[in-house]
Amino acid sequence: MKALLRSTNISEATKKISVTGSKSESNRLLLLQALFPDIKIQNLSESDDTVVLKQGLSIDEGMVDVHHAGTAMRFLTAYFAAKKGAEIVLTGSERMQQRPVKILVDALRELGANIEYMNEEGFPPLRIKGKNLKGSSVSIKANVSSQYISALSLIAPSLKNGLTIDLKGEVTSTPYINMTISLLKQLGVEANFSENKIVIKPGRKKTNTVFVVESDWSSASYFYSFIALSKKASVTLTSYSEKSLQGDAALVDIYEMLGVETVFKSSTSSEGIEEKSITLRSFETQLPDYLSLDLSATPDIAQTIAVSCFGLGIGCKLTGLHTLKIKETDRLEALETELRKFGAEVSIDEESIELHPGDKSITSKNKDKNIHINTYQDHRMAMAFAPLALLFPIAIKDPMVVTKSFPSFYQDLEKMGLTVEFV
């Protein structure tokens, strides 16, 4: 199947869209809820990644298949390893079986965990026999994936002596670790992260137990790109606030450079419910010729930004992207291949992508080509390229990959005025 996207009906009227809850916050809170059942979660993510994590948490014995969900794989590895009596085979998609998990498994084994590799050393599937973990300190390489560190931190308050984690090397995707620590603190756990050391005490003091998940900022990125490329559309996205736990809220400043302003609003409904939203609008500004950004804190918005720059004819160098090679696909290679189809001059290395400034002719050059985008089983490839349909018709192959994080993506594009046809 493919989705044909065309721009037919873009208007200036501000559209209103509810984006589903952050999958990162949701998956952390679900894991914590399994450890502390009094937690209540509102605005939970509807993403596949959250659904599979929730299903996984509901069993103690047998097979859990997390498909493409990295956080579910890493968080459940730690959870089952520390759950006395659990006997689980934890597996995932073909790609998941190529995404490394050794750093986390080694750390858990150091704490006493019983985990075996069923096929290739260092990769899922894993056979996990849960037990009380005795260790209370561990050191871990921090420059490959922050998810290993979040996984250990999330189970830490359930360990008898808590956990001290020494982070070795340069820490990557740091806002995701900060999010984990903040949620633990909100839950009443004593937790601290400073200078490459995390200290988490066992148990918790009872505090407020109702958590409202903020909507997903990575998903908001596609609307930022849409507004930047359309120049006239505007949209209000619900349940976002100025004080966010999500690093991808950096979009506000990044897209301001690309001509999109963000207005935060907070109001109280007639039923007394607080409603928070952002409205995105384009504004007249001199766009830069070239943008240099270090995205090591915000890897999930790299594809969106690269495609926006291409659509705007701006050159860019996006660095700090070494983690992109081990995500749903090798995202640097996938971006290079797909952007070249439109005539982009683009190059990559192990941790960056560079795009040369384009000229104004990209729209006319690609107008009748009906270019097909391969998505490589990566939701963000589909969603990052979709806003280009504002400039010329495109086709997205295997379009339903988007459900990994954003199930209503195509309906929401239609609300924005794009025509979406599945053939």
Write out the residues near ligand S3P by the rule CB under 6 A. Answer: 24, 71, 145-147, 150, 172-173, 176, 299-300, 323
Q: What are phi and psi of 42, to 5 degrees?
A: -115, 155
Kindly list the catalytic residues: 300
Q: Is the separation of the CB atoms in 278 and 240 below 8 Å?
A: yes
What is the smallest separation between the CB atom of 145 and ligand PEP, expressed in angstroms?
Answer: 7
* Residue 405 binding ligand PEP, by CB under 6 A: yes
Closer residue to ligand PEP (CB): 201 or 331? 331
What is the smallest separation between the CB atom of 55 and ligand S3P, expressed in angstroms?
Answer: 18
Q: Is the separation of the CB atoms in 401 and 378 below 8 Å?
A: yes
Stretch that binds ligand PEP, among 32-40, 67-75, 256-264, 382-390 (CB under 6 A): 67-75
What is the smallest separation between the CB atom of 209 and ligand S3P, expressed in angstroms?
Answer: 22
Say which entry of ligand S3P, ligand PEP, none residue 380 contacts (CB below 5 to 8 A, set by partner kind): ligand PEP
What is the smallest separation between the CB atom of 84 and ligand S3P, expressed in angstroms?
Answer: 26
Alpha-carbon gap, residue 294 to 174, rounded angstroms: 13
Closer residue to ligand PEP (CB): 68 or 204? 68
**Closest residue to bound ligand PEP by CB:** 70
Closer residue to ligand S3P (CB): 145 or 308? 145
* Residue 83 binding ligand PEP, by CB under 6 A: no
Residue recorded with tokens 């606030």 = 241
Closer residue to ligand S3P (CB): 301 or 395? 301
Closest by CA to 346, choosing from 361, 336, 338, is 336
Alpha-carbon gap, residue 115 to 419, rounded angstroms: 49
Residue 58 annotated as part of some ligand binding site? no
Span between the terminal Cα atoms of the chain, in Å: 6
* Residue 327 binding ligand PEP, by CB under 6 A: yes
Alpha-carbon gap, residue 355 to 310, rounded angstroms: 7
Say which entry of ligand S3P, ligand PEP, none residue 405 contacts (CB below 5 to 8 A, set by partner kind): ligand PEP
Residue 33: how many CB atoms within 10 A of its CB? 18
What is the smallest separation between the CB atom of 173 and ligand PEP, expressed in angstroms?
Answer: 9
**3 state SS of 159:** coil
- Which residues neighbour 271 within 8 Å (Cβ) at sequence distance 6 or greater? none
Residue 99 annotated as part of some ligand binding site? yes
Residue 194 annotated as part of some ligand binding site? no
Helix (H) or strand (E) holding 146: helix 146-155
Q: Which of residues 286-315 bind ligand PEP (CB under 6 A)?
A: 300
Q: Which of 71, 150, 246, 282 binds ligand PEP (CB under 6 A)?
A: 71
Residue 203 annotated as part of some ligand binding site? no
| Phi-psi category of residue 36: left, alpha or beta, with phi > 0 → left and psi -120 to 50 → alpha | beta
Say which entry of ligand PEP, ligand S3P, none residue 173 contacts (CB below 5 to 8 A, set by partner kind): ligand S3P
What is the smallest separation between the CB atom of 78 and ligand PEP, expressed in angstroms?
Answer: 14
Residue 210, judged by CB atoms within 10 A of its CB (0-12, 13-18, 19+), counts as exposed
Closer residue to ligand PEP (CB): 155 or 159? 155
CA dihedral 77, 80, 86, 88 (to 10 degrees): -20
Name the amino acid, one letter, at 113: A
* Residue 380 binding ligand PEP, by CB under 6 A: yes
Closest by CA to 106, choosing from 70, 71, 69, 144, is 144
Say which entry of ligand S3P, ligand PEP, none residue 77 contacts (CB below 5 to 8 A, set by partner kind): none
* Residue 174 binding ligand PEP, by CB under 6 A: no
Residue 147 annotated as part of some ligand binding site? yes
**3 state SS of 110:** helix
Alpha-carbon gap, residue 148 to 306, rounded angstroms: 27
Residue 404 annotated as part of some ligand binding site? yes
Residue 411 annotated as part of some ligand binding site? no
Closer residue to ligand PEP (CB): 83 or 327? 327
Please give the order of strands across the beta sheet that includes 61-65.
61-65, 87-91, 126-129, 114-117
Name the amino acid, one letter, at 384: A
Binding residues: 23-24, 28, 70, 99, 145-147, 173, 300, 327, 331, 380, 404
Binding-site entries for 3-phosphoshikimate: 23-24, 28, 145-147, 173, 300, 327
- Contacts to ligand PEP by CB under 6 A: 68-71, 300, 327-328, 380, 405
